[in-house]
Amino acid sequence: MSANGAPNTASESAAQVDDELFPPYRFQRMERPGLEADMEIKPRYQARNYRPAGKLTGKAALITGGDSGIGRAVALLYAREGADVAIVYLPAEQRDAEQVRDEVTALGRRCLLLPGDLCDPEFCAETVRATVAELGDLNILVSNAAYLNSQTELSQLTAEAFDLVFKTNVYAYFHLVMAALPHLKKGDTIIATVSEEALKGSDLMMDYAASKAAVVVFTKSIAPHLVQRGIRANVVAPGPTWTPLNLAGQRFTDDYLTELGTQTPMGRVAQPEEIAPAFVYLASDADSSYTVGETIAATGGYTDSR
């Protein structure tokens, strides 16, 4: 087993069990937006058993929500595959972002920090302009930042929260795509992060699930147009993953948080490092040149997602 607990081989992963990876998880609840630095059980994002192969050499990637969680794991894998990255995050998440910058820089790649609020269309455009200006190009857009909202009862749905969810999860994606299009060239890619809830619906995350479903269908709908320009757009749908998102400002019960992921056939949450390789796959010409408008679901075995 490597230092961060990632298995080096398949047999090792079966032989060595690490308590932190399986429920019940240690209870913790945080204020929004929730910092990875403050999580008591650290998400595993360094993917030490991952084998980079120069799949993204010389590319420039813009990753929203790249400071923590899945976005952080993607930023680091992209850097290891040879890409420079720009990460977008909320100003309150500066500590997490600096951690990513330090680790990307240590890999010999550049990391541009872009704090701001993606609910502002002008800021969405600014992140694209800044990426092109500072990194010299934009080849991979990863629309990953999300606002998670949860309800235990229908009466908890509010117009204000619904609006914020759709502004963050859907409108920001739209504005980022539109701003990126003039810069994207043949061979470039767009990848959006959704969630199992987008495919299944969720009585616990009604507005969030609907917003993520919109991202899936929007991607499938624009993909045939984009591919005419040689640009591939696809989606990754993770199952429950150990990130700050679930712990920060949700109405989830204490039991729900300690039992996160038990509903999946694998019976546990994913670690960010287990989700990130799908983002490399979809960004890499060598891997996915015929994959367009597709959703890769990494859900630990759910079957009601298609």
Partner 1 sequence: MTDARDPQDPTTAHPRPDFPQQGQEHPGWTGPMDPPPDHGENSYRGSGLLNDRKTVVTGGDSGIGRAVALAYAREGADVLFTYLPEEAEEARRTTALVEDAGRTAIAMPCDLREESACREVVDRAAGEFGRIDVLVNNAAYQMSQPDGIGAITTEQFDRVVHTNLYAMFWLCKMSVPHLPAGGSIINTTSVQAYKPSPHLLDYAMTKGAIVTFTQGLAQMLVGDGIRVNAVAPGPVWTPLIPATLPDTVEFGKQAPLGRPAQPAEMAPAYVFLASAHANFITAEVMNATGGTPLP
Q: Which residues bind partner 1 (CB under 8 A)?
A: 7, 9-11, 13-14, 49-59, 81-82, 185-188, 220, 223-224, 227-228, 230, 232, 239, 265-266, 270, 274-275, 277-278, 280-281, 284-294, 296-303, 306
Give the active site residue among 25, 45, 173, 208: 208
Nearer of residues 8 and 105 to partner 1, judged by Cβ: 8
CA pair distance 38, 28, nearest whole angstrom: 10
236-250 burial string, b = 16+ CB within 10 Å, else e?
bbbbbbbbbbbbbbb
Residue type, 277: P
Minimal distance, residue 49 CB to partner 1, in Å = 6
Q: How many other CB atoms sit within 10 Å of the CB of residue 262?
A: 17
Q: Number of C-alpha atoms within 13 angstroms, CB side, residue 103?
A: 21
Q: Tokens 């539109």 appear where?
A: 178
Q: If you compute the radius of gyration of the chain from its CA atoms, what whole number of angstroms results? A: 18
Other CB atoms within a 10 A radius of the CB of residue 91 amount to 10
Shortest separation between residue 121's beta carbon and partner 1, angstroms: 27
H helix or E strand, kind and range, residue 129? helix 121-135
Beta bridge partners of 239: none
- Residue 272 CB, shortest distance to partner 1, in Å, is 10
DSSP designation for 91: G
Whether 89 sits among the annotated catalytic residues: the reply is no
Q: How far is the CB of 216 from partner 1 (least distance, A)?
A: 10
Q: Which is nearer to partner 1, 24 or 265 (CB)?
A: 265
Measured from the CB of residue 299, what is the shortest distance to partner 1 in angstroms?
A: 7
The smaller minimum CB distance to partner 1, of residues 139 and 168, is found at 139
CA distance 69 to 294: 22
Residues with catalytic function: 208
